[in-house]
Amino acid sequence: MKREYLLLSLSTLISCAVAAFILSFFFPQLFGRPQDLNVVQLDKKLPPFYEGVFRTKDYVSPELILKDPVTNVRGKPLFPELGSLGPHDILGFRNTSIPNVADVVTIGDSQTYGINVIHNESWPQRLSQKLGGKKVYSMAIGGWSPPQYLAIYEKALTLQPQAVVIGIYLGNDILEAFRVVYSHSYWAKLRKKDLSLSDAPTTPFPFPESELLSLNISDNDSMIFTPAGRLRALDQRNRANEEGMRLIIECMKQISLKAQATKTPTIFLLIPTKELVYKQLIEEHNESLHKDFDELWKQEQEIHDTLLSQGKSLSSIEVHSTLSTLREALSQHILTYRSDKDGHPLAHGYSIISDIAHDAIKERIYSLASGLYQTTVGDKIWFFQVREGKRTLYRSEIALKKTGLKKENAVPTSLGRLQHLPLVNDHH
């Protein structure tokens, strides 16, 4: 009997000790141990967060563009502003800071990044200025294409934008879409079985000197064009480029579904090649043209029109063209591109692109007017009074009643929209 009693006591003590250990691990606050002292063992499935954000090799790298297993390339974090490059935020995007909430997010390649101009003259920054200083956050890297736009779109939505604007550059997005999908296993689900990376056309870049054509664009001015190189990157007679076009449309469809699910207005901007923009002037001021011009113009226009039509068939997205407005600027003798081989716009060209973006989203971007608002935080309803561009928080109906305000007058809104305004008072 005594032995059985000792065994029972011992088993009870062991059970209590195990229970105490489990409770102390999952609920340390019950034993006086702060939660922040809980130790999380290093695990490949849970990589250390700060080691990823503050990666030493990224900051000491001499390269502006770094490698990434999903997006292929990414920008160097905290790169300083040096002329038409930078500044980069800690994520490697061309911004001076990262907002908790953005009014607009822009996504794209080097045409959206803003090569050739300083940061404030890139079209995302020009868009911010046209929207009265609304926060426009740019997520654009040179070398990206629609698969990368799709990958980063969901990340962009964490900033709770009122709209997303995506720039598609007709000059190389088709070939780049094929290359990234067929070179990274992450994108294998989008591939066709009978194609491989070896099907991509050989496209030396920079374009060889033999392909640089100096043509007249007026009686006194000339400009260098690269029709052969541009045609190689979009020629639908090549299976890889045909597949690249299919991939762009597939990415647009998937972005459309995400936009519809999150009720996020999403705009695609079609950005043409310099060659297509200057088509009329090239024809007017030159007696003979390289054979690649006609094929390039024909195919790029067809691709342009196909993508415009695609936008009409998808919900929650719109597709807008910048082509006609860029051409109109030429008739006013506005210099929108450099005269050398570079295919990126200058400041006036980027300003035109921002005009198109502004007209497409301006009715969707709003500021909260003065008044009373309510939002859900966890399982509670909080009230905010907005006055003169500032907000006052009331955490309960009791706190609200003390001011004479009535909850029946509160308009529902999201906490994200309210975060744009500085908080001046907090009433419990």
Q: Using one digit for the tens of pLDDT, what is the confidence trace for 106-131?
A: 999 999 999 999 999 999 999 999 99
pLDDT average, residue stretch 343-372: 94
Q: 205 and 113 in one domain?
A: yes
Total structural domains in the chain?
A: 2
* Residue at which a domain ends, from 320, 342, 364: 364
| Residue 414 pLDDT | 82
User: Given pLDDT bands bounded at 50, 70 and 90, which one contains residue 38?
Assistant: very low
| Residue 33 pLDDT | 43
Q: 275 and 136 in one domain?
A: yes
pLDDT-wise least confident of 10-14, 259-263, 291-295, 403-407: 10-14
Q: What kind and span of H or E run contains 213?
A: strand 213-216
**pLDDT tens digits for 183-236?**
999 999 999 999 999 999 988 888 999 999 999 999 999 999 999 999 999 999
Gyration radius from the chain CA atoms: 28
* Tokens matching residue 129: 């200025």
Tell whether 20 is covered by a domain: no
Tell whether 49 is covered by a domain: no
pLDDT average, residue stretch 303-330: 95
Q: 393 and 357 in one domain?
A: no
* Tokens matching residue 377: 């935080």
| Residue 298 pLDDT | 98
- Let me know how long the chain is: 428
Range of the domain at 383: 371-427
Q: Name every residue whose Cβ is closer than 8 Å to that of residue 78 and which is 6 or more positions away in sequence.
A: 59, 87, 88, 89, 90
CA distance 166 to 139: 9
- CATH number for position 194: 3.40.50.1110
Tell whether 303 is covered by a domain: yes
Answer yes or no: is pLDDT of 93 > 90.
Answer: yes
CA distance 230 to 292: 9
Q: 293 and 231 in one domain?
A: yes
Bridge partners (DSSP) of residue 371 are: 386
Tell whether 414 is covered by a domain: yes
Q: 234 and 147 in one domain?
A: yes
Q: Which residue did the predictor score with more confidence, 415 or 152?
A: 152
| Residue 26 pLDDT | 41
Q: 277 and 176 in one domain?
A: yes
pLDDT average, residue stretch 58-74: 91
pLDDT-wise least confident of 19-28, 51-60, 280-289, 391-400: 19-28
Answer yes or no: is pLDDT of 394 > 60.
Answer: yes
CA of residue 23 relative to chain centroid, distance: 44
User: Given pLDDT bands bounded at 50, 70 and 90, which one contains residue 347?
Assistant: very high
Answer yes or no: is pLDDT of 88 > 90.
Answer: yes
CA distance 16 to 356: 69
CA dihedral 392, 396, 401, 404 (to 10 degrees): 20
pLDDT-wise least confident of 14-28, 138-152, 344-358: 14-28
Tell whether 298 is covered by a domain: yes
Q: 209 and 152 in one domain?
A: yes
Answer yes or no: is pLDDT of 243 > 70.
Answer: yes
Arithmetic mean of pLDDT over the chain? 89
* Tokens matching residue 265: 């207005």
* Residue at which a domain ends, from 349, 364, 379: 364
* Residue at which a domain ends, from 336, 364, 392: 364
The percentage of the chain sitting over the pLDDT mark of 90, rounded to a whole number, equals: 71
Query: Half-sphere exposure of 259 toward its Cβ, with a 13 Å CA cutoff?
Result: 25
**pLDDT tens digits for 325-339?**
999 999 898 999 999
| Residue 404 pLDDT | 86
Tell whether 186 is covered by a domain: yes
pLDDT average, residue stretch 71-96: 95
Closest CA to 336 of 73, 119, 116, 108: 116
| Residue 15 pLDDT | 57
Tell whether 161 is covered by a domain: yes
Is residue 407 within 8 Å of 397, Cβ to Cβ?
A: yes
Tell whether 50 is covered by a domain: no
Q: 200 and 113 in one domain?
A: yes
Is residue 372 within 8 Å of 381, Cβ to Cβ?
A: no
Q: 359 and 254 in one domain?
A: yes
Q: 190 and 120 in one domain?
A: yes
User: Given pLDDT bands bounded at 50, 70 and 90, which one contains residue 5?
Assistant: low
CA distance 12 to 8: 6
Q: 381 and 279 in one domain?
A: no
| Residue 315 pLDDT | 85
Q: 389 and 349 in one domain?
A: no
Bridge partners (DSSP) of residue 75 are: 65
CA distance 88 to 68: 17
| Residue 36 pLDDT | 45
